[in-house]
Amino acid sequence: MSALLEVEDLSVEFATDDGMVSAVDGVTLSAKAGEILGIVGESGSGKSVLISAILRLVRPPGRIVSGRLRFEGNDLLALPEAELEAIRGARIALVPQTPRTSLNPLMTVGRQVERLLRLHRGMDKRAAREAAIAMLERVRIPDPKRRAGQYAHELSGGMCQRVMIAMALATEPRLLLADEPTTGLDVSIGARILELLRQLGEESGAAIILVTHDLGVVAQTCHRVAVMHAGQLSELAGVDELFERPLHPYTRALVRSIPRIDQQIALQPIAGAVPSLVNVRSGCRYVRRCPDALAACRRQRPPLIAAANGRRVACHAVEQSNVVR
């Protein structure tokens, strides 16, 4: 299946008093219609910046330095702002990680869904009202007609997140970006949100990019997963393959750090911390934390090389071990 979204060699920088921060550096990945692609990594790995760049919402002091963002055959970086606005919110939608603060506190949630429908689908007021209630029902909000007349502060965190999903899906997007959609929710509500996203993705055939720091969420929800570290892509693989045989040392460390109920062993935290992204030097950004580091890792950034079954990995040690062949 051809890719709906293709991200090629994308780099994003931010100017600070200390120098340039390389928040996203040479990331290449794709998302296909009907699949859920997980993007995982520690805090500060560049996941949310990548999402902002896909929507071309990086603002000064940040800027997209280089790369391509092809969506349905169009390069988003080359489009005029007016054309991009017609895509953003309609063909590409976002579910943010802070639903309550993302909703307008002075407008009922139903009216906010209505405004999207009138703006992007050209509905009249009555039709938009009926469709908004139907959307709230679709995302499993009980008594949707009554809830449509309420404000964000009158709803629970899980309800607010479902409203955001309803708003994202109201325009029937082809690509849905979900940035930490279960943040701040308890485990049971978070699981329902993830199941809702999975079901709605299957029904609509849209591609979903799910950003998270939780590998358990990835295992439960995603088809493929991209692992990011310090702004770079470390590994890209099918979710089953990644958990069964992680190739990159960072991915292996992430998998070992997952609590498991079937194993009575102490947690194994990842040594060290995410390196500074200010005026970064050449070489692998994981080198100071890596038990498999080679001399080449300090001199040269490892390229993203192809491995079996369509997976990719950026690691000199893995490349030299021949496990990718």
pLDDT at 181: 85
Q: Are 264 and 165 in the same domain?
A: no
Domain CATH for 190: 3.40.50.300
Res. 184: pLDDT tops 90: no
The pLDDT-based confidence of 46 (bands split at 50, 70, 90) is: very high
Band (230; pLDDT cuts 50, 70, 90): very high
Question: Is the distance from CB of 162 to CB of 141 less than 8 angstroms?
Answer: yes
Domain-ending residue, one of 151, 172, 193: 172
Q: What is the DSSP letter of 67?
A: E
Largest Cα–Cα distance in the chain? 67
Q: Which 3 state secondary structure label does DSSP give 30?
A: strand
**Do 132 and 256 reside in the same domain of the chain?**
no
234 in any annotated domain: yes
Q: Is residue 325 one of the residues assigned to a domain?
A: no
Q: Are residues 181 and 264 in the same domain?
A: yes
- Asked if the model's pLDDT at residue 325 lies above 60, the reply is no
Helix, strand or coil for residue 114? helix
126-144 tens-digit pLDDT: 999 999 999 999 888 999 9
Does the residue 75 lie in any domain?
yes
Could you write out the DSSP letters of every residue in 120-152?
A: HH---HHHHHHHHHHHHHHTT-SSHHHHHTS-G
Q: What is the distance, to the nearest Å, from the Cα of residue 270 to the centroid of all Cα atoms in its chain? A: 22
User: Cα(15)–Cα(277) distance, rounded to whole angstroms?
Assistant: 11
Mean pLDDT of 255-265: 72
Residues 19 and 124 in one domain: no
Tally of structural domains, the chain:
2
Please tell me the predicted confidence (pLDDT) of residue 295: 92
* Phi, psi (degrees; rounded to nearest 5) at 255: -65, -40
Q: Do 133 and 203 belong to one domain? A: no
Q: Is residue 189 part of a domain?
A: yes
> What pLDDT shows up at residue 92?
94
pLDDT, residue 228, reads: 96
Q: Is the pLDDT of residue 24 over 70?
A: yes
Check whether 121 has a pLDDT greater than 90.
Answer: no
Answer for the pair 206, 174: CB distance below 8 angstroms, yes or no: yes
Domain C-terminal end among 135, 153, 172? 172
**Domain co-membership, 158 together with 241:** no
Let me know whether 193 and 71 are in one domain.
yes
- Residue 8 located in a structural domain: yes
Per-residue pLDDT at 15: 95
**84 lies in the same domain as 204:** yes
In the predicted structure, residue 265 carries a pLDDT above the cut 70: no
Q: What is the pLDDT of residue 131?
A: 94
Residue-wise pLDDT tens digits, 72-97: 989 999 999 989 988 988 899 999 88
| 212 and 316 within one domain | yes
Same domain? For 14 and 137 the reply is no
238, with CB counted inside 10 A (0-12, 13-18, 19+), is middle
206 and 167 both lie in a single domain: no
Give the domain extent around 209.
Answer: 3-91+173-320
Q: Is the model more confident about 324 or about 173? A: 173
Tell me which of 155, 172, 189 is where a domain ends: 172
Across all residues in the chain, what is the average pLDDT?
Answer: 90
Helix (H) / strand (E) element for 195: namely helix 187-204
pLDDT above 60 (res 1): no
Q: How confident is the model at residue 119 (pLDDT cuts 50, 70, 90)?
A: confident
Judgement on whether residues 125 and 188 belong to the same structural domain of the protein = no
Tokens of 8: 């090629």
Residue whose C-alpha is closest to residue 249's, from 183, 320, 194 = 320
